[in-house]
Amino acid sequence: MTSMSRARVARRIAAGAAYGGGGAGLVGAAVVGLVLAELRLARRHVGNGSGGRVPVADGVYGHAYDIPGEPPLRLTMLGDSTAAGQGVHRAGQTPGALLASGLAAVAERPVELRNVASPGARSDDLDRQVALVLSSPSPVPDICVIMIGANDVTHRMPPTRSVRHLAAAVRRLRTAGAEVVVGTCPDLGTIEPVQQPLRWLARRASRQLAAAQTIGVVEQGGRTVSLGDLLGPEFEANPRELFGPDNYHPSAEGYATAAMAVLPTVCAALGLWPAEEERPDVSRREGFLPVARAAAEAASEAGTEVTAAMPTGPRGPWALLKRRRRRRVPEAEPATPSL
């Protein structure tokens, strides 16, 4: 599928999500059913990794930067098993802990992490997760990171419904005052045991959803980072850590790779990234595009950021597409549990 045709499909899905439609599909239901069956077969083939336990990583990171009287930055993770960190053995290997440590190092300020993500979650669970965040007696997070979408594809959730729930979650968090970064649907076509032609169909479904998610998120004032096939090499190298009980999780190296891709956007959303890197770099094919086109291009290239840039024009909302240089995420230190 070309970038332009993916942009058209993404626009249609996002419009259906915004206006209550439900008929726009990723690929035919029967085809997605075949993909799901193949994924289940693949799960039996590679095993269940380390089981369903998720390390608890909540707490405060970056105590070396303590300043008396200055509260820590507040980071909250929402989403599915990828956000929760299922499949690794230590709290410091989870994406939340890695992002908290990296953010503390860049901001030179402690970061308090809270994780409300749930393994196996689909986008309709974000309503519950956001309610947990906003009903907490703690202050509203400075930034929320959402990773969601893989289970929507494997469980055949209509993409318009998926995007509608995600956009509503972003809107509620932004209205409350939090910055929001969304890691869009990973490319399920990178899963090694899935064979052609289902590998191609899984990739197509994943990328269509990722592009539609991007439109929905950007229109609500959030930023997206495409995870795409970012984790493909990790899956291939670590097949026995591929699947958990919820059908999908990366290895420890995969989480570190994802955290390195998301951290620059988290820092930029909080105004912590160098000003010179906020300007589009033409040599890296960065620039301002209609949001649907930016979404389609981002879905095709992992690690690409999309954020709102200009008011609506003749071709709809515009966005800034950035291919930020990845910086190594510091290894997460043990957290001090939150009180």
Distance CA 317, CA 52 (A): 41
Residue 191: phi, psi to the nearest 5?
-70, 115
Check if 125 is active-site: no
Cis peptide before 110 (omega within 30 of 0): no
Amino acid at 100: A
Looking at the chain, list the stretches that DSSP marks H as alpha helix, in order from N- to C-terminal side: 3-19, 29-46, 81-84, 95-107, 126-135, 150-154, 159-176, 198-219, 232-237, 252-269, 291-300
- Which residues on neighbouring strands pair with residue 115, listed in sequence order? 77
Distance CA 111, CA 60 (A): 6
Catalytic residue among 101, 165, 249, 251: 249
Cβ(292)–Cβ(10) below 8 Å: yes
Catalytic residue among 162, 246, 251, 300: 246
3-state secondary structure of 138: coil
Check if 142 is active-site: no
- Tokens at 227, concatenated: 């995870």
* Ordered DSSP codes for 244-293: -TTS----HHHHHHHHHHHHHHHHHHTT-S-GGGSS--GGGT-EEEEHHH
Check if 81 is active-site: yes
Catalytic residue among 81, 101, 162, 206: 81
Amino acid at 338: S
Distance CA 117, CA 189 (A): 24
Distance CA 3, CA 246 (A): 31
Cβ(7)–Cβ(292) below 8 Å: yes
Cα distances (angstroms) measured from residue 65 to each of 59, 62, 259, 260, 336: 15, 6, 21, 21, 14
Residues identified as active-site:
81, 246, 249
